[in-house]
Structure 1
Amino acid sequence: MRAARLLSLVLLLQNRGRLTADELARELGVSTRTVYRDIDSLSSAGIPVYGDAGHRGGYQLLDGYRTRLTGLHADEAESLFLAGMPGAADDLGLGEVLAAAELKLTAALPAPLRDRAGRIRERFHLDAVGWYREQDSPPALVALAEAVWNQRRIRVRYRRWAEPQEVERELDPYGLVLKAGVWYLVAAVDGTVRTYRVSSILCLEVREDGFERPDGFDLMAHWQDYLAAYDARRLRLQASVRIAPALFAALPDHLDAVLVRAVEASAGPPDGDGWVLATVPLESVDLAVPTLLSLGPDIEVLAPEELRRKVAETAAAVLDRYRPTGRAGAGDLSSSPADTVASRARAARTAKP
């Protein structure tokens, strides 16, 4: 452990030039006092490292000195596929390993390529988590990753939506997928491959017995098939709608990509006012109402009638909630265009199906 830290210290100085003891301590995750001791050890071993005092001081290597001890350990090499996703590497317990691997790779590069790698890091950053979300970091993730890598069978207690909500399963873990900041486990139960949200695993036991991973199993291909099947199961309601031109152009800002593709594929030619008829797949009437109302007055539901009526009822209820009731300073909405909408909505609510 200490030998690896000493090598990392040398590589940091080699790659970045002069660094203070505090900067080295932060990079290595140790105390400043430990850095002082490591510098003394390196000097005693003949490594030409020296320090300058003062505000602009710090430690650096003698000009021209380069170490060639840059061989990657197996776990460092395995971590490199996560080089663009440091958050994912940390979740899997590979953060320090990945940092060491990157240091060694950078040290092994010729000076021009080393500078280029630094410029890329300074200018490009991958943040795979969706807006308004935080990275999902379940407690069981590290142990689960080890079971996946070592092909160890696991026993889990899992929380699901259906009854009974808590179930126990014995699984063969095939792989882990990070989707929009959320971790999922792809595993086989009784020979059937299923998907589990890692944060819903309440208890995890890694067994000693292993399992045989199927020859040719392609995690990426399986995940794409799973997403397609999931959307087919989820989007069971087909709604016929009219969409105003401004909203039609802005749909990618408001709806999931799969919904946008369906609308664009089914859209007919614009009418005289530029509105288009299209079909949008939705989950259910109850779940569709807030989605459609969030699009404002630039979309009209034509069918099914149950959905159209539910949207009208909800719009009327919202308008009733905000209707003035004689409070001081409240405006009169009785003559507003919204009143006409409310009247139509109440008529739709009382009409027979």
Structure 2
Amino acid sequence: MSAARLLSLLLMLQSRSRVSARGIADELGVSVRTAYRDLARLQDAGVPVYALPGRGGGYQLVDGYRTRLTGMSEGEARALFFAGLPGPAADLGLTAEVTAARLKLLAALPADLREEATRTAAVFHLDAPGWYREPEETPHLPLLVDAVLTRRAVDVRYRRWRAPQEVTRRLRPYGLVLKSGVWYLVAAGGSGTATYRVAQVLDAVPSDERFDRPEGFDLGAYWASYLDEFRSRRYNGTATVRLSPQGRRRLPDNVPAEVVAAVEATATPEGDDGWIEAVIPTESTEHACGELLRLGVDVEVLAPPELREAMAARVRVLSRAYGQG
């Protein structure tokens, strides 16, 4: 039984005058039978839910019944979004608010649901950052959060990969995105809407300028479009490779998911020994060489010639380093 689903059901009943079992099932993504069981569970927990039969009937709460989330501050209300994300909440400076909001939310639940919510929280933990790297320092993140929420422009000093590496910009923040433990700011600047890595913000000062987000701007849709464009710019070439069975098994731990998917889509068996030939996307000769060398003797580059030669040159340097050439 999902405590989160029961809480959603309770809030649904509280916010509407009446709702049918079919309507509950459709909105919560469960069967009608499960909706009936959840309603019964609320009743068993002491929530005054009753049914009205006939056409136009359904389920509703006794008039005047409300769950009480008393004394919740603005910061705690914001923190509810991060209640299951302790790492991001700490990044945003909301650790205390998240703790307080969670306690107030639990206090508003019936005892039975409160116990189940506590048990659920004890067995799930989300750790967003990827392996093999330390979390990025983002000292200006709380300031950027405030700028997003108050729609205040920010003057930043930003470090980028191309020259000049340090630039100054006035940004109008539209939103923040957390991807694989890395924070990104989506903001309008002098050249339109762009994405900025928050850890690369060297300095940030709020300005007196206020702004309005463009009508209809959808942060999720923007991010999906940005990722599609990033992938198209990232891979601008291909390579033909041979892979041993072991090399194929090791792929997910050594190359991006797009390369793994390309191997699975283009793999052609060569013989009875399990080796395959496949075509993979590449960023550059240098980058592809570094990634494929991780597979050692379990990969052979067949084309293009410049990548094959780069692999051979690296192997010759390694051979000399170990006194073999």
Bin of the TM-score, shorter chain as denominator length: 0.7 to 0.9
Gaps of 5+ in 1: 1-67, 325-341, 343-353
Question: What's 2:169 paired with?
Answer: 169
Residues 118-133 of structure 1 correspond to what in structure 2 (within 5 A)?
Answer: 118-133=118-133
2:25 aligned residue: none
| Shift, 1:250, TM fit | 3.4
Q: Which residue of 1 aligns with 2:239?
A: 239
Structure 2 residue identity aligned to 1:215:
E
**Is the 8 Å Cα contact of residues 140 and 198 (structure 1) preserved in structure 2?**
yes
Secondary structure of the equivalent of 1:294? helix
SS in structure 1 at match of 2:161: coil
Structure 1 residue 270: Cα displacement: 4.6
Q: CA RMSD in A?
A: 1.9
CA drift at 1:285: 1.0
Once the two structures are superposed, the pairs formed by residues 301-340 of structure 1 within 5 Å of their partners are: 301-323=301-323
Tell me the equivalent position of 1:293. 293
CA distance in 2, matches of 1:178, 1:287: 25
**2:160 paired residue number:** 160
**Does 1:222 find its partner at 2:235?**
no
% identity of equivalent residues? 50
Bigger Rg over Cα? 1
Q: Is the 8 A contact 1:267 1:279 kept in 2?
A: yes
* More divergent stretch after superposition (271-280 vs 233-242): 271-280
Q: Return closer, same or farther for 1:169/1:69 CA change in 2, 3 Å cut-off.
A: closer
What CA distance in whole angstroms lies between the structure 2 residues aligned with 1:247 and 1:216?
47
Q: Which amino acid aligns with 2:154?
A: I
Q: Give the drift of 1:191.
A: 6.0
| SS class of match (1:128) | coil
Asked whether the 8 Å contact 1:151–1:172 carries over to 2, the reply is: yes
In the alignment, the residues of structure 1 paired with residue 270 and residue 125 of structure 2 have an alpha-carbon distance, to the nearest angstrom, of 41
SS at match of 2:302: strand
Please tell me the residue identity of whatever aligns with 1:268: T
Q: Specify the SS of the correspondent of 2:300.
A: strand
Q: Given the alignment of the two structures, is residue 70 of structure 1 paired with residue 70 of structure 2, yes or no?
A: yes
CA 1:142–1:305: 2 relative to 1, 3 Å: same
Superposition deviation, residue 189 in structure 1: 1.4
- Larger displacement relative to structure 2 (209-218 or 269-278): 269-278
User: What is the CA distance between 1:317 and its match in structure 2?
Assistant: 1.2
Give distance in 2, aligned partners of 1:208 and 1:86: 32
Distance 1:308 1:134 in 2: 33
User: What is the CA-CA distance between 1:280 and the residue it aligns to?
Assistant: 1.3
- In the alignment, what sits opposite 1:262? 262
Aligned residue in 1 for 2:181: 181
The alpha-carbon deviation at position 136 of structure 1 amounts to 2.2
Per the alignment, residue 99 of structure 2 pairs with 99
* Conserved 8 A contact 1:242-1:275: yes
Question: How far 1:140 sits from its partner (Å)?
Answer: 1.0
Bigger Cα displacement from structure 2, 86-95 vs 122-131: 86-95
Counterpart AA for 1:118: T
3-state SS of paired residue (1:196): strand
Tell me the alpha carbon deviations over residues 283-306 of structure 1, each in whole angstroms, 9 at most, x when there is no partner.
111122121111111111000101
**2:144 aligned partner:** 144
What count of residue pairs does the alignment treat as equivalent?
A: 259
SS of 2:144's equivalent? helix
Q: Which amino acid aligns with 2:220?
A: M
| 3-state SS in 1 of match to 2:196 | strand
1:284 matched residue in structure 2: 284
Asked if 1 retains the 8 angstrom alpha-carbon contact of 2:250 and 2:295, the reply is: no
- Any conservation in 2 of the 1:134–1:181 contact (CA below 8 Å)? no
Alpha-carbon distance between aligned partners in 1 of 2:105 and 2:208, rounded to the nearest angstrom? 35
Equivalent in the alignment of 1:3 = none
TM-fit CA distance, 1:198: 1.1
Partner of 1:79: 79
Distance 1:323 1:220 in 2: 54
Superposition deviation, residue 281 in structure 1? 1.2
CA distance in 2 between counterparts of 1:217 and 1:270 reads: 50
Deviations 1:107-162 (A, max 9, x none): 11111211111111211100001112233231111111100111111111111121
Which residue matches 2:275? 275
Cα distance in 2 for residues equivalent to 1:291 and 1:105: 48
Q: 1:69 to 1:246 in 2, by over 3 A?
A: closer
TM-score, with structure 1 as normaliser = 0.69
CA-CA distance at 1:69 after TM superposition: 6.8
Question: Structure 1 counterpart of 2:238, which letter?
Answer: Q
Secondary structure of the residue aligned to 2:136 is coil
For structure 2, which runs of at least 5 residues remain unmatched after alignment? 1-67
CA gap of 1:305–1:191, structure 2 versus 1, over 3 A, is closer
Distance 2:109 2:312 in 1: 65
Aligned-partner Cα distance in 2 for 1:306–1:249? 26
Change in Cα spacing, 1:101 to 1:223, as seen in structure 2 (3 Å) is: same
Mapped contact 2:69–2:105 kept (Cα < 8 A) = no
